[in-house]
Amino acid sequence: MKITKVTAKVYEWKGETEPPRAHFSGSAVDILPKRGESMASFRFHGWLVIEVETDEGIVGLGNCALAPRIAKQIIDLYLAPLIIGEDPDDNEYLWQKMYRSTIAWGRKGICMAAISALDIAIWDIKGKKAHKPVYKLLGGKTKDKLWCYASKLYANDDLDKFLEEAKGYLDQGFTAIKMRIGYGPADGPAGMRRNIEQVKALRNLCGPDIDIMVECYMGWTLEYARRMLPMIAEYNLRWVEEPVIPDDIEGYIELRKMNLMPIAGGEHEFTLFGFRDLLERRAFDVIQYDTNRVGGITAAVKVNALAEAFQVPVIPHSGMMHNYQVCMATTASPISEFFPVYKVEVGNELFYYIFKGDPIPDHGYITLDDHAEGLGISLRTDYLDKFNIIE
Ligand code: MG
């Protein structure tokens, strides 16, 4: 089998979006002036869709997000010519070819997202050719179904609305919920009180038997996190996520050593080498790569093996099929993230408007189809008029 064609399409949402609300989430630019603008910059409304065609008629689907127009340029100009004419069964060789050919300027960030998108499409081809779901090619099932946590619950000073959303997840049978933190260093003691109020209100609603996670999305500084963590430690959090920026590895190590709650991160880290450093330095209690950034499925399974040896759980960012397939095949993943299907808000939701076949949790658990071929997702056509598609 040979790869004959690679098509990279940018899907930009032009439909309705939820307007940004002040203090709905942290962001790394929050420490800068003009916070209103920073909140808007948190949102992204595009996705890259990859179709890799073969001479046997099998078409593999891949995807990545972040900066899809740039990823498309990287694929069109540099990566596609490297894999056209090659056998998609040679995923390790193709990964190394893409990684090593772009190493002077690639390695991390959007180039690795572009490599990830192609690698995911290559695995989709491998699964379709074998007439098996991808996880069956990665070692097979390690659990009957995937336990998921509901991941939305943006911060809200209107506690009634905040709790109403949380109650909706409990009513659906979720037993783990992640909330967003809305206030950071620029908001002073009043912001700290608001953060505490919302965490406390969620714990009171959920009682002791529900896992609660808190997402900071890089909106804090190390100094602020040192002060904030002791104030929310009594609410028995399963983890606090990305309290500081990903480059502040020493900061993560220090926060872990406070031993107040588990510290999670890694959704902005890339490849086996990036995670080797984080794991060796004991920077995180939980690592959270996204398969569509870390280097695709070829890289994700290597990180899983390493994490297993360090006994650090892998709980990939975002869920979605490219992550679920990998989670199913490793004991290192005890739970998966699930973004509830929703109106387009920050951009994560776009995946569901582009692809069909992604599983919806039933009472907090996802089942993967044993008889699916490849990833088990396909392109939907009923929202095409809501996208500006750049080909
Ligand atoms: Mg996160």
Please say if the pLDDT value at position 38 is more than 60: no
| Angle separating helix axes 249-257 and 271-280, nearest 10 degrees | 40
Residue-level pLDDT at 119:
99
- Cα 125 to Cα 10, 74, 327, distances in angstroms: 21, 21, 19
Question: 116 CB contacts (<8 Å, ≥6 apart)?
Answer: 62, 64, 291, 292, 293, 294, 295, 296, 299
Annotated catalytic sites, by residue?
A: 317
Please say if the pLDDT value at position 39 is more than 60: no
Q: How far is the CA of 182 from the centre of ligand 1 (A)?
A: 14
Q: How far is the CA of 255 from the centre of ligand 1 (A)?
A: 17
Query: Which residues face 385 on adjacent strands?
Result: none
Domains detected in the chain: 3-131 (3.30.390.10), 137-380 (3.20.20.120)
Residue-level pLDDT at 308:
98
Q: How far is the CA of 248 from the centre of ligand 1 (A)?
A: 16
- Which residue reads 């609305």 in tokens? 161
pLDDT in tens, 380-389: 999 999 999 9
Residue-level pLDDT at 331:
97
Model-wide pTM > 0.95? yes
Phi, psi torsion values for 59, nearest 5 degrees: -120, 125
pLDDT in tens, 271-304: 999 999 999 999 999 999 999 999 999 999 999 9
Residue-level pLDDT at 240:
98
Please say if the pLDDT value at position 310 is more than 90: yes
DSSP 66: S
Q: How far is the CA of 58 from the centre of ligand 1 (A)?
A: 34
- Cα 79 to Cα 48, 58, 147, 223, distances in angstroms: 14, 20, 35, 41
Q: What is the mean pLDDT of residues 264-273?
A: 98
CA end-to-end span of the chain:
25
Centroid of chain to Cα 152: 13
pLDDT in tens, 135-168: 999 999 999 999 999 999 999 999 999 999 999 9
Please say if the pLDDT value at position 36 is more than 70: no
Residue-level pLDDT at 346:
80
How would residue 228 be classed by pLDDT, with cut points 50, 70 and 90? very high
Is 325 in contact with 135 (CB distance < 8 Å)? yes
Q: What is the mean pLDDT of residues 76-87?
A: 98
pLDDT in tens, 316-368: 999 999 999 999 999 999 999 999 988 888 888 999 999 999 999 999 999 99
Q: How far is the CA of 377 from the centre of ligand 1 (A)?
A: 24
CA 47/CA 249 separation, integer angstroms: 29
**Please, what is the average pLDDT of the chain?**
95
Residue-level pLDDT at 172:
98
Phi, psi torsion values for 4, nearest 5 degrees: -110, -25
Is 101 in contact with 83 (CB distance < 8 Å)? no
Judged on CB neighbours under 10 Å (0-12, 13-18, 19+), 203 is middle
Q: How far is the CA of 329 from the centre of ligand 1 (A)?
A: 22
- Report which secondary-structure segment, H or E, holds 286: strand 286-287
Count of Cβ atoms closer than 10 Å to residue 142 Cβ = 15
pLDDT in tens, 311-323: 999 999 999 999 9
Please say if the pLDDT value at position 43 is more than 70: no
Written as six digits, the tokens of 243 are: 């309290």
CA 23/CA 18 separation, integer angstroms: 14
Least confident of 30-39, 98-107, 239-248: 30-39
SS3 275: helix
Residue-level pLDDT at 35:
63
Candidates 379, 367, 378; CA nearest to 135 is 367
